[in-house]
């Protein structure tokens, strides 16, 4: 993601070279922070918290390891400043302040307190690290496609919880990445490269959320430059189609629970009737998981490049410069709005140009209407069509996962005796 954004700045925004280097340094700093936060999240199941509390968790966790290694307090101070604080960009001042608490931190850890308890004791966290109850129901809203684009998201993006979570994301990221380079990049992309209706929806939603629309535009690029997710399409011996997905978007990077609190189900309607429904996030104008009643459903999974992620960045940049390619989530929304059957959706998702490689997983309502579309930017590299199971099989299943190395995928046949 870092290389993508920096390279993109040089292509679409007329900024001096030193500004591009500044942006890259900021993004590298943020990557270092998110890596540490992911380690903490995986170890302690940390819920989304304030930046100060997150930094406290990271520092205290590192101190605990240094104590085990019998490091002195002066050695620990040097290591924390060099290995953590120096890599946090806009968060460095907070981190340096945390170093002043080292005697109290060490005392708490020697008393066998948890990392969470130490941070609460020194008043850098309000409450202990406690994860959400899971699962919990998603709220449901309607978007009226008959309204002007700038007004379609007004109800959703003015919901206090969504505003709070969007503000948290914006504050956290801009604390770590001070300056306006990335915001200007997002504005340029939204103003000149996104479809006009979607660009206006982003501007309208951002005004309600209380965040700059340039940042919301970058959020809508998130899936192109991240990696995650698993989808399954299957059918039973009587021809019943099954479609399932797991969306572990940005898992472990400190924003997963924030996105949970921004998750919702939207019915997109025209003339008072639902055209299609989507499980999505407030402010994400494209779609990743969608259902059209009595027609088809579709999900999106990351597709990796055999040549590495650098190839992805080059292709994304080239596509944006050409101005004739779509975000993977934008194309899927267009298909959901305009197509009414499995075959037409399959044709469009296989052929329309994209800015990044992806897997589209498609399911219909009739026997054998299931497919995994392995997409390049310009066309489909391969299309797997779900075939009817042999009489000795109970279920035929195609599974696609976006977290396997080098874009490998699995075709799995479950054989269960009658």
Q: How many CA atoms lie within 13 A of 284 on its CB side?
A: 26
pLDDT at 313 over 50: no
Average pLDDT, integer, range 121-150: 81
From the candidates 56, 85, 125, 229, give the one annotated as an active-site residue.
229
* 348-381 tens-digit pLDDT: 999 988 877 788 999 999 998 999 998 887 888 8
Amino acid 343: pLDDT? 95
Residue appearing with tokens 């026997």: 367
Structure tokens at 274: 């639902």
Interval 373-405: pLDDT, tens:
988 878 888 898 887 555 544 444 554 444 333
Q: For 23-52, what is each residue's pLDDT tens digit?
A: 445 555 555 555 555 555 555 554 445 667
State residue 345's pLDDT score.
Answer: 96
Q: What is the pTM of this model?
A: 0.70
Alpha helices in 112-180 (DSSP H): 115-121, 154-157, 160-176
Q: Which residues contact 360 (CB under 8 A, 6 or more apart)?
A: 298, 299, 300, 328, 332, 349, 350, 372, 373, 375
For 280-296, the pLDDT digits (tens) are 999 999 999 999 999 99
In the block, which residue shows the tokens 């998110």?
34
pLDDT value of position 32: 57
> What pLDDT, on a 0 to 100 scale, did the predictor assign at position 223?
67
**Torsion (CA) 211, 216, 222, 223 in degrees, nearest 10:** 130
Q: How buried is residue 148: exposed, middle or buried, by Cβ count under 10 Å (0-12/13-18/19+)?
A: exposed
Return the DSSP state at 53.
Answer: H
What is the Cβ-side half-sphere exposure of residue 85, based on CA atoms within 13 angstroms?
A: 19
- Structure token digits, residue 130: 């406690």
Instruction: Report which of 374, 375, 242, 239 is spatially closest to residue 297, judged by C-alpha positions.
Output: 242
Residue 229: active-site member: yes
User: Which one is predicted more confidently, 60 or 126?
Assistant: 60
Q: What is the pLDDT of residue 137?
A: 81
Q: Which of 190, 195, 198 is nearest to 217 (CA)?
A: 190
Structure tokens at 81: 């400043």
CB 400 within 8 A of CB 358: no
Instruction: Tell me what the mean pLDDT of segment 143-148 comes to.
Output: 98
């Amino acid at each position: 993601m870092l290389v993508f954004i920096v390279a993109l700045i040089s292509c679409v925004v007329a900024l001096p070279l030193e500004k591009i280097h500044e942006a890259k340094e900021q993004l590298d700093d943020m990557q270092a922070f998110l890596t540490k936060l992911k380690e903490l999240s995986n170890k302690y199941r940390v819920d989304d918290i304030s930046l100060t509390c997150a930094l406290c968790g990271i520092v205290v966790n590192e101190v605990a390891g240094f104590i085990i290694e019998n490091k002195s307090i002066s050695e620990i101070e040097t290591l924390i400043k060099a290995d953590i604080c120096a890599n946090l960009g806009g968060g460095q001042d907070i981190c340096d302040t945390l170093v002043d608490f080292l005697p109290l931190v060490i005392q708490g850890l020697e008393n066998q307190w948890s990392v969470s308890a130490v941070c609460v004791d020194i008043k850098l966290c309000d409450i202990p690290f406690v994860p959400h109850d899971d699962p919990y129901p998603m709220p449901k809203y309607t978007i009226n496609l008959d309204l002007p684009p700038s007004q379609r998201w007004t109800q959703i993006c003015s919901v206090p919880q969504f505003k709070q979570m969007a503000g948290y994301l914006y504050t956290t990221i801009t604390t770590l990445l001070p300056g306006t380079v990335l915001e200007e990049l997002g504005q340029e992309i939204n103003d000149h490269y996104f479809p006009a209706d979607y660009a206006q929806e982003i501007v309208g939603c951002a005004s309600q959320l209380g965040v700059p629309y340039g940042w919301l535009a970058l959020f809508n690029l998130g899936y192109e430059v991240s990696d995650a997710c698993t989808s399954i399409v299957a059918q039973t011996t009587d021809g019943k189609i099954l479609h399932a997905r797991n969306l572990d978007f940005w898992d472990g990077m400190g924003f997963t629970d924030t996105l949970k609190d921004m998750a919702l189900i939207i019915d997109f309607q025209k003339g008072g009737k639902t055209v299609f429904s989507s499980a999505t996030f407030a402010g994400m104008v494209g779609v990743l998981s969608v259902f059209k009643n009595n027609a088809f459903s579709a999900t999106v999974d990351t597709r990796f490049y055999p040549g590495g992620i650098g190839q992805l960045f080059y292709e994304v940049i080239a596509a944006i410069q050409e101005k004739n390619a779509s975000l993977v989530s934008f194309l899927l929304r267009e298909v959901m709005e305009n197509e009414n059957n499995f075959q037409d959706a399959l044709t469009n998702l296989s052929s329309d140009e994209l800015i990044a490689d992806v897997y589209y997983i498609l399911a219909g309502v009739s026997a054998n209407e299931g497919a995994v579309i392995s997409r390049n930017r310009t066309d489909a590299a391969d299309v797997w069509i779900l075939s009817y199971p042999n009489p000795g099989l109970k279920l035929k299943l195609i599974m696609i996962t976006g977290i396997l190395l080098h874009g490998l995928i699995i075709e799995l046949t479950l054989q269960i005796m009658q």
